[in-house]
Structure formats: structure tokens, C-alpha cells
Amino acid sequence: MDLGRLSETDIRSKFITPAIVGPEGAGWDLLTQMREEVYFTKGRVVVRGKSVARGKAMKADYLLCYKPNLPIAVVEAKDGDHALGDGMQQALEYAETLDVPFAYSSNGEGFLEHDRTGLSDRPERELALSEFPSPDELWMRYRRWKGLSDEQTEIVTQDYYSDGSQKSPRYYQLNAINRTVGAIASGQDRVLLVMATGTGKTYTAFQIIWRLWKSGAKKRILFLVDRNILADQTKTNDFKPFGAAMTKIKNRTVDKSFEIYLCLYQAVTGQDESKNIYKQFSPDFFDLVVVDECHRGSAADDAAWRQVLEYFSSATQIGLTATPKETKEVSNIEYFGDPVYTYSLRQGIADGFLAPYKVVRIGLDKDLDGWRPEAGQLDKHGHEIEDREYNASDYDRHLILEKRTELVAAKVTEFLKATNRFHKAIVFCENIDHAERMRQALVNANADLAAANSKYVMRITGDNDEGKAQLDNFIDPEATYPVIATTSKLMTTGVDAQTCHLIVLDQTIKSMTEFKQIIGRGTRINEDYGKLYFTIMDFRRATALFADPDFDGDPVQIYEPKEGDPPVPPDETHFDDEPAESGEHASDCPVDTRSDPGSDGDVTFGGGSDGGKPTRYYVNDVEVAVAVERVQYLDADGKLITESLTDYTRRSLLESYATLDEFLGDWNEAERKEAIVATLREKGVFLDELAEQVGRDYDPFDLVCHVAFDRPPLTRRERADNVRKRDVFGKYEGKAREVLEALLEKYADDGLRSVESLEILKVSPFRDFGTPVEILRLFGDREGYEKAIRELESAIYAGAA
């Protein structure tokens, strides 16, 4: 058989699949061990102006698993025109991503194997179709690579929990679970797992604990969290299958009859020895301790969590974090060791599992230029304001400019009015006092909706029971209210806000750990509710941390509007100047390094004082105005660019087509021109958005030729008129000619997309010519009709070369 004539699908079904399955099914089980066309990423969400699309998802032709959720090999297939190893580089990329040791490439003649274990003198070898390794052979090689004993193998092969829904962990969750279980089976007793916020750390932890518990490797497990809501969410959601074997430690009461313990670390520790109730357990009671959000202090020598970890030092300990902390005082890696697996924010955005985001940067004049009171000036409570230079580090801590708060609320409201006033938003404030004042300002700015429902704006802080009671409603996609939540620290972690579209930063953030946690409040995607990306509105220059080399997930757009400009990013912006931080508005005021009185626990309201001197000055007669706003884009690869949409499109097109002839060749050879447009869309080139700026009457062909190659464009109407002048339809008669003339008119009105779809035959005026089947018969059959469409397209673009 001439394999060169066979498609990839034919090669797979006739040669590759039978070789993998083996004669009479003696090889890999078709139902439980072999999966075909496995999409393991979602495709990056690409945002350009008002358009949102997904890039191309990664797909393995074959994924071979020794057991369900235990993948060990990938196979990449090519059609008969390719050489045996042409798919190997792609297979290796997939194998690295999926964390499997064996990669294969095939064109139907045989297989090329690549062994990534490092145990073979020759990593690559050719195999005949009949020589494809069996599951047992590859598994034995896998065990030899990992050094697994029979006892360790029992742990590593323990089944995952399944609820019967066929839900499978995402590839990175599988990698994290399998690596962690494998490390513990091999005797590692300190394990660090780094996964970006929104990637399912708790579900991953559940599967790890489930497999270790079910295998008998670990019998009593302690799961430590630092927020009560995290413990409750964990118990009722991801950990629910543990059922009666699980308890939550509360009211400082210990019951030793359970196997799985959920615990808020504050509930078992305290400064008084009597409050350290964890010591009611013997030091060897637990054989596994899992620490959620371990960056929050568990690795600090003086932290309460560290006391618990050291007390249960004989237990295997797993640290989970989105943001490993490495400072002189705190080190997760020093305690837990290097991460066994890392899944970063940048990778999550690239894979399409996490939402990208735009940034609106708003610089206020008093923040950028500072403010100094006049001699003897009094605040609204009659206190004389200390005479010194105040800047952004002082506002809402030592000095309250009430009109600044009102302006922030006004800009947030303006943004919501321009987008959707019921898109959920979180406003991060300096402290509880600031969060309350911001709530009031937002209520006043949205008086109509606040009057319709008092929960439209809510303060959700640690001291307020009414607000905390609404947290579940805020994170519930189906609950309309609350819409806007003002907070300080409470919502920085553990809040699964799937439909949060707007994050407002009016809080000084200098910690990369805290910054990533806050960004993580918006990174979850919920396509059912239209949440594919979100916006960060930054009033405190916190997004300057984007420039930090430790930051790993860049924005799709940064926008800094000028005074009077709307806060919603435009579809196109261009800068020739440097950012404001290096320009005339850069503040030369020194940063106040005194102790911060504005923690989440600070509930001082009004003009309280300490020894006669106010803790804060409240000023209500100082005007505050917007000084600067700006925008930038990210390309489809996640790289920050500072250019217009037109320039970006030109650069992207030239990466795909170096010359006009190259583009024309692809265009003329394509059976469906819309396929080329779809491919460009996957690369982040949105021709519909470009048409809004260049001209709605231009065809995608002319947009590409004009923007990328400086060719003068013709409108669709001009192209249609040129076709009519050449009498292209002369060989067709009667209704067939009328159909083609109607299609040409449709092209002039709506573009090529409608012409290439058979659905067009179901609408007016084509219904006058009969049913779609009857219209196809006017041209002999469907093949004749499609030939006529290709002739029509050739006529439309004739002379373009």
C-alpha cells in the first residue's frame, strides 16, 4: 500500500492503533489504557479590544496510561508523506509537559522511540510496528527509572478517587499529584508543591491525601489552614468523600477517633501554653501533615505553624502555596526543600486555564506630587495637621483625604457603568477604616442601585459579621448581590470568586507574595457566565511589581487614562513616552518607613488620638484630580508590547507571512478562506477589531494586504463591481446564475464568511430559489456548487497579485 496517499486519520486507524493494541488486544487496552486526541490545554484566552478568542489547544494523538491517571507515554502520528521521526520534536514537547518518560513518533511504517529516563545508552531507536512495547514492558522500565520497590509500587499505583462522573484531573494536577505521591513513596518526608491561585490546589491535595490514605501509607492526616472559610469550604467541597472519617477541630476540643482532621491553626495554638491544644495529640499521632498556603508564615521560625510542624516533626509534611516566600526571615524552600512541581500563573494563562487581565493605571495628583498642609491648617475634627510632606504611603493611614476616596469611588463607578454595573468587583483598601469609608463613597456614587438593594455594596472585613455573612453570596456565580465588596486583608486568599471582573487596588502593596494572592482573586475562568478575563484598576502603583523578575504572569493591557478620559481601556493606544514613574509626575517624596498603623485589625474610626496627637488626620476640603492614565498590550505569547493594534497586527502578520507572495499563495490555495482568518485569530490577530479602525467595508484579504504589505485596499463593493464588469458568470444560466449574483451581493454586504457557509442558502433571497438541496442541484451536485464558489472567490481576488 502506498502510505503517501493516506491521511493521518487513515494512518492511525489502519496502522498505529492496531500496533499499539497488539494482535487480538494483547497490547494496550483500548478502553482503559489508550486515549486518542487528548486535548490537555484549553488554549490561551487572547483579548484584543472588545474581542476575546481562544488560541489553539495542545492535543496529543495518543496518551498511554499504565493505569487511569498514570500516563507513561505519548505517540505523535503523521501522515504517509512524512518521515518516521517528523513528529518526534512535537512528541517530546508533549512528553515534557505531561511529565511522561517515553515519546514515540510514527508515520505508519514503524515507530521512533525516545527514552527520556536517561537509563539508555541510545535514547532514540527505531521499532517495527510489531515491536511496540507492551504496558508491562514500559512499566518495568518506568519502575527501574524511579527505583520503585514492590511496596512503593503499591502506593504509586493506588487509584484516584472517582465519583463516577468521568471527571479527570487536569494535566498539571496529575503531574503534581503523581510527583508528590511518588516522592513520599520514595521516602521524602518534606514536600513543597507550588501551584498558582485558581488552579485547584485543594482538589490536588485531596487526591494526594486520598491515595496515600487508601493505600495505607498514611493513616492519620492533619490538614492545616489559616482561614476559617478555607476549612469550611474544604470540608463541604473537595474533601467531602472522606465522610465520617473526617472532622474539623473547633472550640479547642480534641477527639482522637477520626482519621482526617481539618484545622485552623489559630484554633490549636496560642501564646498561653494552655491554648496549644495540638499538644493533646502525641507527637507521632499524625503521619501526614498538609499545610495550605504555607507562605503565610508556616516556615518562619517564630510562627505558630512552625511550632505545630516541629511538634509533629516525625510526620511527612507537605507545603502547598501559590507564592513560595524566600526572604532573610522566611524560607519555604529551606524548610520543605525545592518544589517537587511548579505550575505558575504565567503557565496557567498560557494554557488557558487562568484568565488574563488588563490593567487600568490611574495616577492621582496628590499621590504623584504629594501634599503639604498650609501652616496651622486644621483637619475636619479641629486637629492641627502636622507640617510635613504627605504622599501615597500616608493616605488612608496617617492622613485621610476624603475627596480622594470619593474620586476613587467615582472612577470605579464610571468603569462599571461603561462595562456592566453587575459585574462583581473587589476593592482592596489600606485598612478596615478605609474599607468602610470606601463602602460609603461607592454607595453614594451608585445611589440608584444601592437604594434598590442595600447589598449592592458591602464591606467584607474580619471585624464585620454582616459582611462576612455575604462572602458566600459574593463568590456564588448565581447570586446577584453583593456586586461590589470593599475589603482589606480578609479576601486576599481563599476566595474563589469565579465571576469577579474587576480588582481595584487602593492599597499599598510591596510584597510580591501578597500581590500574586490579590491578582489570584480574578484569575478564575467561568465561561458559562462570560468571565474569560478581568481588569485591574490600580490607584497605588502596585502593578509596578509587573517589572519584578519574580512576577510570572503579565497583563494583556495596561491603560493610564488622562484627566477627563474614560477609565475603560480603548481598543487601540500608542505611546512614544516613558511611563509616568520616570517622568514629571514621579514623586520625589521619601517613603514613610514608620510602623504601619493600618493593618486589617485596626478599627480606629473618626479622629482618634494617642497622647493628644491624632492617629489620623481627616481632611475634607482638599481637591484631588486624575493626573495620568495609560495602556499596553500583551501579544499571544504573553509578551508585553507598547504599540497600536495596527502596528501589532502588522508585526504578527509578517511573522506568519514574510512576503506578499507567500500570503497570496496560501490564500489562493485555501479551499475555505475563512480557515486562514481562523488561524490568524488563534495567533491573536483579530481582523474584526482591525476593521473597526481601518474600515468596516474592507475584506480580511484587503486588511492583510494593506496593513502588512502597504497595498491599497479595495472595499467589498468595489471588488463585487469588478466581478460584474468581467461577466464571470457567463457560463451559468437561469437560476444558477441568479444564485451566484445573489452570493456576490451577499459578499459585498457581509463579507466572505457568509458566502462560504451553506447556511446562507436557508435565508432570503436564496429561499426563493428552492431548498438548499434544490439549489445544489442547479450546479449538478454539491461538488459542482463548491467549484462555482471557488471560481467566484478567484474572480473576487483576481489581479491582486
Give the range among 624-638, 643-657, 731-745 with minimum mean pLDDT. Answer: 624-638
Neighbours of 150 (CB within 10 A): 7
Bridge partner list, 630: 361
**pLDDT for 710-721, tens place per residue?**
888 888 888 888
C-alpha grid cell for residue 415? 468603569
Q: How far apart are CA 594 and CA 778, in angstroms?
A: 85
For range 480-498, the mean pLDDT: 82
Measuring CA to CA, how many Å separate 650 from each of 368, 395, 632, 656?
36, 44, 16, 10
Q: What is the mean pLDDT of residues 520-534?
A: 87
User: Which of 533-559 are b and which e, b meaning 16 or more Cβ less than 10 Å from the residue's Cβ?
Assistant: bbbbbbbbbbbebbeeeebbbbbbbbb
State the pLDDT at residue 775: 87
pLDDT score, position 578: 28
H or E stretch covering 260: strand 260-264
pLDDT of residue 644: 62
In tens, the pLDDT along 298-324 reads 444 446 667 788 889 999 999 888 876
What value does the mean pLDDT take over residues 76-105?
A: 93
Mean local confidence (pLDDT), 221-232? 81
Q: At what angle do helices 673-682 and 687-694 cross, to 10 degrees?
A: 100
442: enclosing H helix or E strand: helix 432-445
Report the pLDDT value the prediction gives residue 298, as an integer from 0 to 100: 44
Residue 697 has phi, psi (to 5 degrees) of -90, 0
Helix or strand (DSSP H, E) at 288 = strand 288-291
Mean pLDDT, range 675-684, rounded to an integer:
76
- Give 698 or 175, the one with higher predicted confidence: 175
Q: How would you class 86 by CB atoms within 10 Å of its CB: exposed for 0-12, middle for 13-18, buried for 19 or more?
A: middle
pLDDT band at 518 (very low <50, low <70, confident <90, very high): confident
pLDDT at 18: 94
> How far are the Cα atoms of 242, 243, 286, 318, 622 from residue 258, in angstroms, in the given order?
11, 11, 11, 20, 61
Strands 626-630 and 51-54: unpaired
Task: Please check the confidence at residue 552 and state whether its pLDDT lies above 70.
Answer: no
pLDDT of 184 above 70:
yes
What does the alpha-carbon distance between residue 652 and residue 657 come to, in Å, rounded to a whole number?
Answer: 9
- C-beta atoms surrounding 670 within 10 Å: 15
Mean pLDDT in the chain? 82
For residue range 743-754, what is the model confidence (pLDDT) as tens digits? Answer: 888 888 888 777
**For 56, phi and psi rounded to 5 degrees?**
-75, 130
Range in 35-39, 590-594, 649-653 the model is least confident about: 590-594
Question: What CA dihedral angle connects 10, 16, 17 and 22, to 10 degrees?
Answer: 140
The alpha carbon of 579 is separated from its chain's Cα centroid by a whole number of angstroms, namely 26
Across residues 656-667, what is the average pLDDT? Answer: 82
Q: Where does 186-300 have alpha helices with state H?
A: 201-214, 228-236, 265-268
pLDDT band at residue 1 under the 50/70/90 scheme: low
Cα–Cα distance measured from residue 39 to residue 722, given in angstroms and rounded to the nearest whole number: 45
Distance CA 763, CA 761 (A): 6
Q: Are 462 and 198 in contact (CB under 8 A)?
A: no
Among 11-20, 118-127, 681-690, 785-794, which stretch is predicted with the lowest mean pLDDT? Answer: 681-690
**Contact 297/267 with Cβ under 8 angstroms?**
no
Residues 727-736: what's their mean pLDDT?
Answer: 82
Contact between residue 148 and residue 185 where contact means Cβ atoms under 8 Å apart:
yes
Distance set, CA 457 to CA 426, 436, 437, 568, 614 (Å): 10, 10, 12, 21, 29
pLDDT digits 0-9 by tens, 187-225: 999 999 999 888 988 899 999 999 999 999 999 999 988
Cα–Cα distance for residue pair 523/357, rounded to 1 Å:
8
Sign of CA dihedral 284, 287, 292, 297: positive
- At 728, the amino acid letter reads V
pTM of the predicted protein model? 0.74
Name the helix (H) or strand (E) containing 76. Answer: strand 70-77
Q: Measured between alpha carbons, how far is 18 from 365 in angstroms, rounded to an integer?
A: 71
Q: What share of the chain is helix, strand, coil (3-state, %, to 5)?
A: 40, 20, 40
For 50-56, what is the mean pLDDT? Answer: 81
The predicted pLDDT at position 175 comes to 95
Residue labelled with grid coordinates 487480538 = 24
Give me the pLDDT at residue 574, please.
Answer: 33
Q: Cα–Cα distance between 334 and 182 in angstroms, integer?
A: 21
According to the model, what pLDDT value does residue 547 have?
A: 65
Instruction: Identify which of 273, 318, 276 has the alpha carbon closest to the alpha carbon of residue 298.
Output: 318
CA dihedral 526, 323, 292, 202 (to 10 degrees): 30
**pLDDT for 288:** 95
Q: Which three cell numbers stand for residue 194?
A: 507550588
**At 41, is the pLDDT very low, low, confident or very high (cuts 50, 70, 90)?**
very high
Please determine, for residue 102, whether its predicted confidence score (pLDDT) is greater than 80: yes
pLDDT tens digit string along 753-762? 777 788 888 8
Instruction: Read off the pLDDT band of 497 (50, 70, 90).
Output: confident
Mean pLDDT for 269-290 is: 80
Q: Alpha carbon 365 to chain centroid distance? A: 33
Spatial distance between the Cα atoms of 428 and 398, rounded to a whole number of angstroms = 18
pLDDT mean over 250-265: 84
pLDDT of residue 521: 85
For residue 22 the three cell numbers come to: 497488539
Say which residue, 648 or 487, is predicted with more confidence: 487
**Which pLDDT score, from 0 to 100, does residue 490 have?**
76
DSSP per position, 509-552: ---HHHHHHHHTTS---BGGGTBS-EEEEESSSGGGGGGSTT--
Measure the N-to-C terminal CA separation of the chain; round to a whole number of Å: 40
Q: What is the mean pLDDT of residues 652-678?
A: 80
Residue 604 in this model has a pLDDT that exceeds 60: no
Distance of alpha carbon 614 from alpha carbon 612, whole angstroms: 6
Residue pLDDT, tens place only, 618-637: 888 888 887 776 544 555 55
Phi-psi region of 424 (alpha: psi -120 to 50; beta: other; left: phi over 0): beta
SS (H, E, C) 505-518: ECCCCCCHHHHHHH
Q: Does the CA dihedral 719-722-728-730 come out positive or negative?
A: positive
Q: CB count, 10 Å around CB of 310?
A: 11
Reported confidence tier of residue 275, pLDDT bands at 50, 70, 90: low
471 contacts: CB under 8 Å, gap ≥ 6: 229, 460, 491, 495
Angle at CA of residue 498, ends 493 and 501, nearest 5°: 95
| Higher pLDDT pick, 330 / 561 | 561
Residue 4 has pLDDT above 80, yes or no: no
Q: How far is 698 from 714, CA to CA, in rounded Å? A: 7
- What is the side-by-side strand order in the sheet with 260-264? 246-249, 260-264, 221-225, 288-291, 316-321, 190-195, 339-343
Q: List Cα–Cα distances, 645 to 366, 636, 649, 675, 777, in angstroms.
A: 33, 13, 6, 22, 45
pLDDT confidence tier of residue 597, bands split at 50, 70 and 90:
very low
d(CA 603, CA 461): 10
Gap between the Cα atoms of 729 and 658, Å rounded: 35
The region of weakest confidence among 151-155, 295-299, 422-426 is 295-299
CA-CA distance, 622 to 59, in Å (whole number)?
A: 59
Tens of pLDDT, residue by residue over 353-365, are 998 888 888 888 8
Check residue 270 and give its pLDDT. 62
62 or 371, greater pLDDT = 62
